[in-house]
Amino acid sequence: MILTAPLEFIGRNTLSFLAAIGRVTLFAIETLRQLFLPPFYLREFALSLLQIGWLSLPVVGLTAFFTGGALALQIYSGGARFNAEAVVPSIVAIGMTRELGPVLGGLMVAARVASSIAAEIGTMKVTEQIDALVTLSTNPMRYLTVPRVLAATLAVPVLVAVGDAIGIMGGYFVGINRLDFNAAAYLKNTVDFLEFWDIASGMVKGAVFGFIVALMGCYYGMRSGRGAQGVGRATKSAVVASSVLILASNYVLTEVFFTA
Amino acid sequence: MICLENIHKSFGNNAVLQGINVTVEAGNSLVIIGGSGTGKSVMLKCILGLIPPDQGRILVDGQDAEHAERDAFLARFGMLFQGGALFDSLPVWQNVAFRLLRGALKRSPAEAREIAVEKLRRVGLSADVANKFPGELSGGMQKRVGLARAIAAEPEIIFFDEPTTGLDPIMAGVINDLIREIVVEMGATAMTITHDMSSVRAIADKVAMLHNGVIQWSGPISDIDQSGDPYLDQFIHGRAEGPIEAIR
């Protein structure tokens, strides 16, 4: 009995982990299926676009600006070891567009949006608003999940693009004020070395991260337990799951985009 | 007519419903009473398809609820939830007119608003409440808005889940009277679940008592005081002593 207890523990947790993956996959498939079924709730979509896209702009912009600045300082001091200070503009641009813009933007959106979606839908669940939707002949997946997931998938790439520009601006600002770069040369270097795919790959990552964030927010909200504790747990799980999935999918996408 | 035949429902090891058989005639008002956690809400949710029963059949006018077309089936129902379940992101009038703003019963926003204001007036709320948000209203007003939403699309069947819980006795009396008036006026079939005996006497044509997963007693409201059923007697008189174990 004592000898088999650790095995039982491992088995139980493995099974529950696999079951969770199955549930999330089914939820994602159902979301995609509902996307193509009428009616489409335009008002909900527009409100989600505003909430997820427009209102996330300050936090994503600030994150990108400070990251771009810090990146410029790091590359300058690191590059100085082998006389490569001049690469600051191009590495800041590539680092921001390919990696830091989408990942940090995605994580900030996860913190801001996955939590608010999970808390909102979780509260709706515990106050029977989801049941009320069903009794009013409205499919909760179509009314709550589809608009949020679609809005996040479309809005986060735009946020990433804006974040990229602000991040590069942060690097530029530090470059010309603290590292004595020539303003025109900094910009020329940035533009010359940046390729279309650097920006596009980051935006594709942004779309995937946006999908993950809203999906996790809706999934955990819909499965929220009873009471304040249930909603709190749903919110925490949504943020943790979306953050981990963003980092994991970022690695997979980077493998696919840049090593294939 | 709503007919529940041998409905069973368990949650894990907890067998909540263990063979419910009950019938509500068209245009009648059935009140289901019973202690907390006896499965009254589960029973209503089984009828609406919010919780699938493990076993048994639910027939609405002879049609099996499981095989009915969902939207058309649900369009026949209105429900007042215990906590109101109002959508707090929408103003009151859009809550009331929710069904009239989308789906098969869709009207123009102006027409839907007009109907919402008229339904609000029917439940004793003035037109200026229409633009407020649910969070700005008192508990009694929220219940009335919930009631207005339940009747907005003039359903044939209305469910009331603990309509007076959390209200003061006067407001509870007002809501009971409103429910009775509306059900009679609309000729609707009504099912109400409650612990409140004043609601039972005000709303019911027929009463059913749920205990240990089955209907312990059912009969017309006029028989409730002479039922001779010790379970029902203990419940309606609120006695701690009797066949129903009270956990202290």
ipTM for the whole complex: 0.89
A46 min Cα distance to partner chain B (Å): 14
| A15 in any annotated domain | no
- The mean pLDDT of B91-113, rounded to a whole number, is 92
Q: Is the pLDDT of residue B248 over 60?
A: no
DSSP one-letter string for B80-111: E-TT----TTS-HHHHHTGGGSSGGG---HHH
pLDDT given at position B241: 84
Q: With respect to residue A11, please indicate whether it lies within any of the assigned structural domains.
A: no
What is the CA B196 to chain-centroid distance, rounded? 13
CA distance A139 to chain B (A): 9
**Domain ranges within chain B, ordered by starting residue:** 1-76+160-248, 81-154
Q: What per-residue confidence (pLDDT) applies to B72? A: 85
**pLDDT above 90 for B139:** no
The pair phi, psi for residue A41, each rounded to 5°, is -90, 90
Mean of pLDDT over chain B: 91
Which one of B44, B77, B87 makes the best mutation probe of the A interface by having the most chain A beta carbons within 10 Å?
Answer: B87
Distance of CA B18 to the CA centre of its chain: 21
- The DSSP secondary structure of chain B, one letter per residue, reads -EEEEEEEEEETTEEEEEEEEEEE-TT-EEEEE--TTSSHHHHHHHHHTSS--SEEEEEETTEEGGGS-HHHHHTTEEEE-TT----TTS-HHHHHTGGGSSGGG---HHHHHHHHHHHHHHTT--GGGTTS-GGGS-HHHHHHHHHHHHHTT--SEEEEESTTTTS-HHHHHHHHHHHHHHHHHHT-EEEEE-S-HHHHHHH-SEEEEEETTEEEEEEEGGGGGG---HHHHHHHHT-SSSSSPPP-
What is the spatial distance between Cα A27 and Cα A22, in angstroms, rounded to a whole number? 9
Exposed, middle or buried by CB within 10 Å (0-12, 13-18, 19+), for B190?
A: buried
Q: Which of A114-118, A135-139, B104-108, B203-207 has the lowest average pLDDT?
A: B104-108
Contact A137 B85 (CB under 8 A): no
- Residue B149, pLDDT score: 95
Characterize the bridge pairing of strands B14-24 and B55-60. Answer: unpaired
In a domain, A232, yes or no: yes
Whole-number Å distance between alpha carbons of A55 and A45: 14
Residue of A nearest to B159 (CA): A135
Residues of B in contact with A128 (CB under 8 A): 81-83, 85
Interface probe for A, chosen from B73, B79, B156 (most Cβ of A below 10 Å), is B79
Number of domains, chain A: 1
Contact B103 A41 (CB under 8 A): no
Q: Rounded to a whole number, what is the distance in Å from the CA of A163 to chain B's nearest CA? A: 30
Check whether B220 has a pLDDT greater than 60. Answer: yes
Q: Are strands B206-211 and B214-220 parallel, antiparallel or unpaired?
A: antiparallel
Both structure tokens of A37: 């079924």
Question: With an 8 Å Cβ cutoff, is B143 touching chain A?
Answer: no
Give me the mean pLDDT over the B17-38 stretch.
Answer: 93
What's residue B189's pLDDT? 94
Has residue A16 been placed in a domain?
A: no
Average of per-residue pLDDT across B104-108: 86
Q: Any CB–CB contact under 8 A between B42 and chain A?
A: no
pLDDT level of residue B166 (50, 70, 90 thresholds): confident
Domain-located, residue A131: yes
- Enumerate the β-bridge partners of residue B57: B5
Handedness of CA A190, A194, A196, A202 (dihedral sign): negative
B79 in contact with A, Cβ within 8 Å: yes
Q: Which CATH class is domain B1-76+160-248?
A: alpha beta
- pLDDT for residue B165: 86
Asked if B237 contacts B246 with a C-beta cutoff of 8 angstroms, the reply is: no
Q: At what angle do helices A57-79 and A146-177 cross, to 10 degrees?
A: 40
CB A242 within 8 A of CB A234: no
pLDDT band at B245 (very low <50, low <70, confident <90, very high): confident
| Spatial distance between the Cα atoms of B227 and B66, rounded to a whole number of angstroms | 35
Domain containing A89 equals: 42-254
Closest chain B residue to A132 measured between Cα atoms?
B85
pLDDT at position A151 is 98
B160 part of contact set with chain A, CB < 8 Å:
no
- The dihedral through the CA atoms of B222, B175, B179, B209 has a sign that is negative
- The chain A residue lying nearest B100, using CA atoms, is A136
* Domain-embedded: residue A81: yes
Strands B55-60 and B29-33 turn out to be unpaired
Top residue of A44, A120, A128, A138 to mutate, by most chain B CBs within 10 Å, is A128
- Of the partner residues B50, B87, B104, the one whose CB lies closest to the CB of residue A134: B50
Residues of chain A scoring pLDDT < 70:
1, 260
